[in-house]
Chain A
Amino acid sequence: MTILHIDHLSKRFGKFQALNDVSLSIKKGEIFGFIGPNGAGKSTTIRILLGILKPTSGSASIFGLDVWKESVEIHKRIAYVPGDANLWPNLTGGEVIDLFLKLRGSYNPQNKQELIEKFQLDPTKKCRTYSKGNRQKVALVAAFASDAELFILDEPTSGLDPLMERVFQECVLKAKAEGKSVLLSSHILSEVERLCDRVAIIRQGEIIESGSLDDMRHLTRTNLIVETIEPLNGIRGIHGVHEVKETEKGTSLQVDTEALNEVIKKVSTLGIIRLESTPPTLEDLFMRHYEGTGSDSR
C-alpha cells in the first residue's frame, strides 16, 4: 500500500529550478532514505510535502490526500522533525514538547516521559540555553511520542552525539516494527545504510537513482582484494575491471557485476592465497554519482 506518492513534481523559485520532475513513492511499513548533498532539493521536497511550499507543477499526496489542499488532515497523522529545530527562546523544552504534541493531536504521555529520559533531555530549561543537539532532541521527543503513521525526518540527527544517534535509530526501528513508515532525509550515509529499505539519491533537483540498496549494489561494482601465488597479470585486460592497485594486502580492484564470473575464473587458475570481497558501500554509490560534478550548494 502506498502511503506517500510524489508525481512529476517541479518547483521553481524565480529563475532557480529547485526541483525538476521528481517522482517517488513510499509504501506502508517502509523506511525510505532520501540522500543528497546540501542544496540538492531534499528540504524543498519535504516542505512541499508539508504544504509550506506550493508545487510549480506536478503533485504529491500522502494517505491519498493532496499535500497542499488537505495539509491539516494529513498532519494529524504525520510527525515531522526538521534538520534545524528553531524553537522559542523563552519557552522551556517541556512546554514546547507539550505544545507540539497538542497541536498535532493525540499522544501517549507515558511515551513522552520515557523518550525524555532516553534522550537525556532536561525539559525545565529554556530553549535559549539548549545546544543544537538538545533542540533536536526536543523535536525528536515530540515526534516519537506521537502516534503518527508517517514520520518525515529531515536530517534529524545533526548535532546529536553517537549515543543519542543510537537512541534515534532504535526509535526509528521501533516505529517500523509497529508498521509505521519513515521518510529519512540525511547525508549521514552509514545511518541510511543501516536503517533504510529503499533509497533515492537526489542531485540538483533531480532524482538520479532510486531503489533498494541491494538493487543499487547489483548495478555497481564489487571491491575485491586478491593475493595469488603466480603474478596477477592480464587482469587489467578484462573488460569491466577498474582501479587495479597494488596494496600491502594484495591487489585491490573493482569489478562490474557482469565481469565477476570471468575475473574469478582467471584468478582461480593462479593459486589463490587470499580473496576478500566487499559489497560497495552506499558511500561508494553516492560518490560515483557525484564524482566530477562536485557538490554545488544553492
Chain B
Amino acid sequence: MSHKPFHQTGSLVKFYLRTDLFRILIWIFSITVLTLLTGWAFEDLYPSEIERLAIAETMKNPAMTAMVGPGYGLDHYTTGAMMAHQMLLFTAILAAVMTILLTARHTRGDEEDGRSEMIGSLPVGRLAPLTSVLIVIGFSQFLLAIALGTGLSVLGLDTSASFLYGAAVGGTGLFFAGMTALFAQLAESSRGTTGFAFLILGLSYIVRAVGDVSNESLSWFSPLGWTLKTEVYVNNFVTPLLLLIFGSIILTAAAFSLLFKRDLGTGMLPTKPGRRYAPQSLLSPLGLAFRLLRTSIIVWGFALMAIGASYGSVLGDLESFFASNDMLSNMVDPASGLTLTEQFVSMLMAIMSMMAAIPALMFFFKLKSEENKNRTENLYARAVSRQKVFMSYIAVAAIFGSFMMVIATVSLWGASVPVMDDPMSFSTVALSGVVYLPAIWVMIGLGALFTGLKPGITGIAWGYLIYSFLVVYLGGLLQLPEWPGKLSPFGHVPQIPGEEISYLSLLILTVIAAVLIVAGLKFYQSRDLSG
C-alpha cells in the first residue's frame, strides 16, 4: 500500500464533497452576500465624489489603519478602493477562519474521533485522505474567488480587479488551509490544531497592524499583509497573491512530509499537562462561573474596545463629513446648541450600550446553557443553593456587562483625543457612557426573569434588545415618533451631553432591574431543573 500513497484519492474527494458541500456552500454564500451588501451600501451611502472624499478624510488616522489596513487611493476614493480598504482584510480573515475550521475537522478532527482509522483500514493510500481534503478545500476557495469576482463585477466594479479581489480572499483561505494541515501533523488534538492556526492568524493580524502603522516593510512578514499588498482596484498587484499561493504549497508539502513519517494519533508538539489541583479562585460557584466565561469576557472586551476606538477615531473629521451627508445630519438636531460631534457621541453611546448588552445577556444565559448540558446538577447535588448559583451569574453578567460599556467608552475617548482639534473632556464622555449602565442591567433583569420562568422563552430578551436597537437607532434615522423608543430601557437614558442628567430615571431603571432579578430568582428557586 505504501507504494501507492494516493490510491483512492478520487473516491475520497467525492466522499468529502458529499459530507461538506452544504457547509462549504453556506460559507461561500454568507461571505459573498456580506461583501456584496457592503459594496451596495457603499454605493448607496456615498453616491457622489464629495461624500466619498469626506469619508476618506475620516479614514486617515492610525486607529483605522491598524484596524482595516492602510488605505490605497484615498485621494481618489472610489467604491472599489473603499471595498479594498474597508472590506478586503475582514473578508480574507473570514475565508481563513473557514478553511481553518474545515481543514482541522477533516484532518486532526477525523483522527481524534477515530474516523481516520476507519478510512485507513480500507484499501486507501496513506496520503489520500489529506490530499482529498485539500483538493476539496482548494476547490471551495476557487468557488469563493469566482463568486466574489462575479458578484463585484455585477455591482459595476472593474471586472479583472474584482477577480483579483476574489483571488486575494481565496488565496488567504488557501494559505491558512496549508497552515492548518501542517499544524494537524504537529499538534495532538483538533483543538490544539485550530488553536495554533488561529494563533498564527491573530499574530498575522497584529504584525500587519503594527507594520501598517509604523513600518511598512514589517507588513511583508504577515500573510494578511500580502492580502492587502495586492492594492486591489487601485494598483492591482499580482505578486502578493502569488506569495500566498506559493506559501500554501510549501506549507502543504511540509504537512505531507510529516504525515508520511508519523504514526496515526501522535503529534510532534508536546502537550503540557493541565493542573492537578484546582486553584483557590475556582472553588466557588462564582469562581466557576467566571472561569467558564473567562475567554468569552476577554474576546468581548477586545471587541468592544475595537468598536469604541473605531468610533472615536472618526470623530475628528466628523463636522465636514456631516456637512456633506444629508442622511446622517438628519439624525442630529441643529437647534440644540451643541456641536454635531457632541450630539453624535450620545448617539454612539446608545449604540455601544446595546452592543455591550449582548455579552451581558450571553454571560447570564450561560446559566441556562449549563442547565441544558446537565451541568448545574453537579452543583445542586452538593451543598450549593440555587440562589448562590443564580446570583453568581447575575454578578458576572452585571460586572462584566458594565465593564464592556466602560471599556468601549474609554477607548472611544482615547481614540478621539489625538484626532480632534478641540478634544472632549474625559468626564463628559465618561458620563455620557456610564448613564447607559442601568439600561444594560434592565436587560440582564429581563434575562433573569425568563430564565427563572422557563428557559425556553429566553429568546424574548434577545427580541427585545433587537427592538430597542431598531427604535433607538433607526428612530433617530427615520425621525419616528417618540413613544416606540419609550418602550425600551435604552430610550429612557438621558443623552449626555445635551440633556440634563436625570437621576430619577436612572434610579427607576435600576429599581426595575433589581425587581426583575429578584422575581427571576424566586421563579428559579421553585421550578424543576432539567439538569
Contact = CB atoms under 8 A, between A and B. Distances in A.
Interface of A: 47, 50-54, 71-73, 75-76, 80, 82, 84-88, 91-92, 94-100, 102-105, 123-126, 128-129
B380 A99 contact: no
B504 interface: no
Contacts of B374: 82, 84, 86
Nearest to A86: B374
Contact of A75 (B274, B278, B381): B381
B377 A129 contact: no
A129 B190 CA distance: 11
Contacts of B21: none
A55 to B, nearest CB: 10
Given A86-B375, A87-B378, A54 B526 contact: yes
Given A72-B385, A82-B377, A99-B282, 7 more contacts: A50-B377, A54-B528, A91-B291, A92-B274, A99-B278, A100-B382, A103-B379
Interface residues of B, number: 32
Contact of A129 (B189, B379, B381, B527): B189
Given A53-B528, A54-B526, A86-B375, A104 B382 contact: yes
A104 B284 CA distance: 11
A71 B389 CA distance: 14
Nearest to A143: B381
Given A52-B528, A86-B373, A86-B374, A94 B278 contact: yes
B277 A95 contact: yes
Given A53-B528, A94-B276, A72 B383 contact: yes
A167 B278 CA distance: 25
Interface of B: 189, 191, 273-278, 282-285, 288, 291-292, 373-375, 377-385, 526-529, 531
Contacts of A102: 278, 283-284
B531 A86 contact: yes
B189 A86 contact: no
Given A86-B373, A86-B531, A99-B288, A51 B380 contact: yes
Contacts of A76: 383
Contacts of A100: 378, 382
Given A51-B380, A82-B377, A100-B378, A125 B292 contact: no
Contacts of A85: 378
Nearest to A52: B529
A125 B274 CA distance: 6
Contacts of B383: 72-73, 75-76, 103-105
A95 B278 contact: yes
A97 B531 CA distance: 19
A100 B285 CA distance: 11
22 contacts: A50-B377, A50-B381, A52-B528, A54-B527, A71-B380, A72-B384, A72-B385, A75-B381, A75-B384, A82-B377, A84-B374, A86-B373, A86-B374, A86-B375, A87-B375, A88-B375, A91-B291, A95-B274, A100-B382, A102-B284, A103-B284, A104-B382
B488 to A, nearest CB: 35
B104 to A, nearest CB: 15
Q: For the complex of A and B, list the 4 residue pairs with the smallest distance between their C-beta atoms, beginning with the closest.
A: A98-B278, A124-B273, A92-B274, A95-B278
A92 B529 contact: no
A96 B282 CA distance: 9
A48 to B, nearest CB: 9
